[in-house]
Chain A
Amino acid sequence: MTSLLSAGLLSAGLLSAVPRVITVGAGVLDEALRAQAVPTTPVSWRPPLPGTAEALAAVLADPRRRAANELAVGRLTGARPYLVGLRRASEVLAAGTFLHAGPPITWERASGPMRGALIGAMLLEGLAADERAAGDALAAGAVALRPCHEHGAVGPMAGVVSPSMWLFEVRDEEHGGTAYCSLNEGLGKVLRYGAYGPEVLERLRWMDRVLGPALAAALERTGPIDLRALIAQALQMGDELHNRNRAATSLLLRELAPAVVEAAPGDAAAVLRFINGNDHFFLNVGMAAGKAATDAARDVPGSSLVVAMARNGTDFGVQVSGLGGRWFTGPAGVPDGLYLGSYGPADANPDIGDSTITETSGLGGFAMAAAPAIVRFVGGEVADAVRATRSMYEITLAEHPAYQIPGLGFRGTPVGIDVTLVARTGLLPVVNTGIAGRVAGTGQVGAGLVEPPVEAFTSALLALAEVSK
């Protein structure tokens, strides 16, 4: 007899070591068991999000779901992303196209920082003489705007990618996918926050001219760099890989430094100083790694796994493995956190950027318990960080086999958001993020946590119900 009931429950029950009973629902029935000295694990149950019950029933009953989710999350956690090189965006992009963060957006609906970054890209590419001309051209549709995510890429904050920019190229050696992300410009007034002043453009040109070629040459010497291992190490050194990348950046710098010196002796000092001066330099590399992993989990019919969460400064969008490239959106919220200098909530733009790929792949807000220091940037106590990570196990399908949190006994990070679990628990993904200024050109004004819009997840669930078997 193989039944667990006969093997475990009946036999153990006979022996008085009555097994633990999971109770879900009426507290009075849990109490009755405890009065009998039967150990219980009460579920802190509440009804699912309003309007989702029917869809949940359909999706959960889909016979494909369990295996589909196992496959999808297995691919997500099994990905082995390597940093293999750098490429000019023009090699990847169709002519006359800019990429941007988040779900699709038009110039009309774009927020301040998104517009600022697009203007900056026009100026950088020499497609407009000044700010006004750039704005007019963009409004007239001179350039096609496409989401990074649809081109195997991700970009932080505005995430604008124009043809002359360099992109990190990350390959998933397990499943063969490739993902791209732009190079990080540093903090303060930078294009990704919508700044496009002369110093911003000057820095971008230097990156095009010096940084990109030097790194490309260095990577040819080092060969592919194992990002899975590097990220795993950085987590143990106090990074959560979204708002804190100090350890990962240091580790990457250590890998690259000798090769940079050999490959570009003349520029090495400037290149290394630039990387060293920016604690977030690794963010973009990590994002590409996350993109490579989540893309591996796409397009599994019946799977309710979230494969992308991204914001364009106006909308927060979600994509689900079983639903192909469809976006499900809701209004992007304003992050709640700490502001730089005299900035305050009134200066904040709604949530923006593809950097939520880190949360989608089990890092960032999901790994906050690994980064106690992060609470200094996003507000709150260390216990809040631990609580945030613990709560995410409630809505995820797996624990990451390689990304572990020392403070939780080396438990794997919660990974693989399941829209059915979001609807059942009402718990939304915890997202760590930087806060962009509302006005184009302002740059970063703070950092904090942001709550995704619930309708992005519920509408994805309803769509999944329509295609469920």
Chain B
Amino acid sequence: MTVSTHARRTRVHVTGAASTAVRPVLESQRRPARVLAVFPAGVYLEVRTELEPSVIAVITGQATRLPNSVLLAGPLPHVTVGDDAAVGDRVIELGPLSLSVRRWWDPAPPLGRLDSARLARAAALLGAPPGAGPAGTGAPPGAGLAGNGAVALLAGSCAKGWLLGMVTAAEQLVGLGPGLTPSGDDVLAGLLVALRHLGLATGTEPAVRLADWLAATVTYDARTRTTPLSATLLHCAARGEASPEVIAVLRGAAGRQPLEPALRHLYRLGHTSGADLAQGIAIGVTSVLALSAAT
């Protein structure tokens, strides 16, 4: 049986590192939260807040550092879905733990300057990775929405800078697909981050503007259209925030690190997430190149 009394538990003070994306939520007033999902290497918390990210991933060990995560220096507590938690006043209270942050990382590090010629070389690899589907689709192996019409529309409109087409496609894609992060969202997230960072790095103003529009479109009603985690990740992507695996591919595309191993790492994320994100990035690269050539 469960005892419903407020057992006075001594709190265990632990520390860790966090993405600066969660800083506003963490440093605002303390708010209640609830355990949304529990995995061996991570716990997702849904915070009752208007701020984003409203879902915070408390992770440990080798779990993917999603842009909304807080990395624990020790082991995760035993908690179950639905458990109460609290976030704010610089602390996350989860199970017996009282977690404070000793290190911050930037989930949207600037790429520096990049010339389009270099990006064009990367585009070849991104557009047709080893084992890719039918030529021209740009779908990496395992992509959840290979051959999907909305993705094709998204790619075509972005490359032309056609806002209406892009928005139409994006609206069809938000929340499309099964799982915690539907494929449609992952493609959009990859595209958002790529457009913003590569647009800034190459000085392609139209690409950044496109990113702004796309960000507004997908964040507008994300909370009602897709899973809470995916909605949070779309909000992060809208600001250019991503996991290190995604940033590594962008850095690879920018020639700051080897691209192929970074891509291989990205593919390994989740069920189809990695491939979907890669597909979004590929669309972003192609679009930035097309838009930069047009200006």
A and B touch in the complex (CB under 8 A): yes
Known A-B contacts A14-B109, A15-B105; the reply to A37 vs B16 at CB < 8 A is yes
Instruction: Determine whether the beta carbon of A37 is less than 8 Å from that of B103.
Output: yes
Given contacts A14-B106, A15-B109, A16-B65, contact A36 B257 (CB under 8 A): no
How far apart are the CA atoms of A38 and B72 in the complex, in Å? 10
Partner of A16, one of B15, B19, B72, B73: B19
Contacts of A16 in B (CB 8 A): 17, 19, 65, 71, 105-107, 244
Q: Contact between B19 and A35 (Cβ–Cβ < 8 Å)?
A: no
* Complex contact B244–A38 (CB within 8 A): no
Chain B residues contacting A35 (CB-CB under 8 Å) are 15, 73, 102
CB of A193, distance to nearest CB on chain B (Å): 56
Bound complex: CA A380 to CA B108 (Å): 56
Q: Is B118 an interface residue (CB 8 A)?
A: no
Confirm or deny: A66 has a beta carbon within 8 angstroms of a beta carbon on chain B. no
Question: How many angstroms between the C-alpha atoms of A144 and B89 in the bound complex?
Answer: 86
Contact of A11 among B17, B103, B256 (CB under 8 A): B256
Within A3-58, the residues touching B (CB, 8 Å) are 7, 11-12, 14-18, 34-38
Which residues of chain A have C-beta atoms less than 8 A from B15's C-beta?
35-37
- Minimum Cβ distance to chain B for residue A27 (Å): 15
A20 to chain B, nearest CB (A): 12
User: What's the nearest-Cβ distance from chain A to residue B257, in Å?
Assistant: 6
Is B247's beta carbon under 8 Å from chain A?
yes
Say yes or no: B73 contacts A15, CB within 8 Å. Answer: no
Chain B residues with Cβ below 8 Å from A14 are: 105-106, 109
B103 touching A38 by the CB < 8 A rule? yes
Q: Which residue of A lies closest to B16 (CB)?
A: A37
Q: Which residues of B lie under 8 Å from residue A17 when comparing CB positions?
A: 65, 244
| Contact A37-B17, Cβ < 8 Å, known A15-B247, A16-B107, A17-B244 | yes
- The residues of A that contact B244 with a CB separation of less than 8 Å are 12, 15-17
- A11 and B71 CA atoms in complex are apart in Å by 19
Question: B105: which A residues are within 8 A, CB to CB?
Answer: 14-16, 18
The one of B102, B247, B248, B257 in contact with A7, judged by C-beta atoms closer than 8 angstroms, is B257
B34 within 8 A of A: no
Interface residues of B in 70-117 (CB under 8 A from A): 71-73, 102-103, 105-107, 109
Please count how many residues in chain A sit with their CB below 8 Å of the partner chain's CB atoms.
Answer: 13
- Residue in A11, A18, A34 whose CB lies within 8 Å of B251: A11
- Interface flags, A145-158, vs B, CB<8A=1, else 0: 00000000000000
CB-CB contacts of B202-235 with A at 8 A, as 1s and 0s?
Answer: 0000000000000000000000000000000000
Q: How many residues of B contact A (CB 8 A)?
A: 20
Query: In B104-145, which residues have CB < 8 Å from any A CB?
Result: 105-107, 109
Residues of A within 8 A of B251 (CB): 11, 15
Against A, the Cβ 8 Å flags (1 = close, 0 = not) of B255-290 are 011000000000000000000000000000000000
Decide if A37 touches B65 in the complex (CB within 8 Å).
Answer: no
Q: In whole angstroms, what is the CA distance A7 to B256 when docked?
A: 8
Residue among A12, A14, A15, A18 facing the most chain B CB atoms (10 A cut-off): A15
Q: How far is the CA of A347 from the CA of B191 in the complex (A)?
A: 81
Give A37 to B58 CA distance when docked, in angstroms.
Answer: 12
Chain A, residue nearest B258 (CB): A7
Q: Is the CB of A15 within 8 A of B102?
A: no
Contact at B248–A15, with CB atoms within 8 Å?
yes
Contact with A along B56-70 (1 / 0, CB 8 A): 000000000100000
Q: Smallest CB–CB gap between B250 and chain A, Å?
A: 10
Q: How far is the CA of A258 from the CA of B256 in the complex (A)?
A: 64
Decide if B73 touches A34 in the complex (CB within 8 Å): yes
- With a 10 A CB-CB cut-off, give which of A34, A35, A36, A37 has the most chain B CB atoms: A37
Within the assembled complex, what's the spacing in Å between the Cα atoms of A12 and B248?
Answer: 9
- Identify which of B102, B106, B248 contacts A36 (C-beta below 8 A): B102
| A37-B109 contact in complex given A11-B251, A16-B65, C-beta closer than 8 Å | no
Residues of A within 8 A of B72 (CB): 37
Identity of the chain B residue whose Cβ is nearest the Cβ of A14 in the assembled complex:
B109
Which chain B residue shows the least CB distance to A7?
B257
Complex CA distance for A18 and B256, rounded to whole angstroms: 17
Contact B71–A37 (Cβ < 8 Å)? yes
Instruction: Mark contacts of B230-255 with chain A using CB atoms, 8 A cut-off: 1 yes-contact digit, 0 otherwise.
Output: 00000000000000100110010000
Tell me which of A12, A14, A18 has the highest count of chain B C-beta atoms within 10 A of its own C-beta: A14
In the bound complex, do residue B17 and residue A36 qualify as a contact, i.e. CB atoms below 8 Å apart?
A: yes
The chain A residue with its CB closest to the CB of B251 is A11
Q: CB within 8 Å of A: which of B1-17?
A: 15-17
Q: What residue of chain A has the Cβ atom nearest to residue B19's Cβ?
A: A16
Give A17 to B247 CA distance when docked, in angstroms. Answer: 11
A contact residues around B107 at 8 Å (CB): 16
Chain B residues near A15 (CB, 8 Å)?
105, 109, 244, 247-248, 251
**Of the residues B17, B106, B109, B256, contact of A38 by C-beta under 8 Å:** B17
Give Cα A131–Cα B73 distance, bound, in whole angstroms.
74
| Closest CB in chain A relative to B260 CB, distance in Å | 15
List the B side residues contacting A7 at CB < 8 Å. 257
- Kindly provide the distance from the CB of A31 to the nearest chain B CB, expressed in whole angstroms: 10
Chain B residues contacting A36 (CB-CB under 8 Å) are 15-17, 73, 102-103
Q: How far is the CA of A7 from the CA of B107 in the complex (A)?
A: 18
User: How many whole Å from A28's CB to the nearest CB in chain B?
Assistant: 14
- Measured CB to CB, the closest approach of chain A to B102, in angstroms, equals 4
7 residue pairs of the A-B complex, CB under 8 angstroms, read A11-B251, A11-B256, A14-B109, A15-B251, A16-B106, A18-B103, A37-B73
Sorted from nearest, which 7 A-B pairs have the closest CB atoms? A16-B105, A36-B103, A15-B244, A37-B17, A14-B109, A37-B73, A36-B102
Residues of B at the A interface (CB closer than 8 Å) are 15-17, 19, 65, 71-73, 102-103, 105-107, 109, 244, 247-248, 251, 256-257
New contact pairs (19) apart from A35-B73, A36-B73, A37-B103, CB-CB < 8 Å: A7-B257, A11-B256, A11-B257, A14-B105, A14-B106, A15-B244, A15-B247, A15-B248, A16-B17, A16-B105, A16-B107, A16-B244, A17-B65, A18-B17, A35-B102, A36-B16, A37-B72, A38-B17, A38-B103
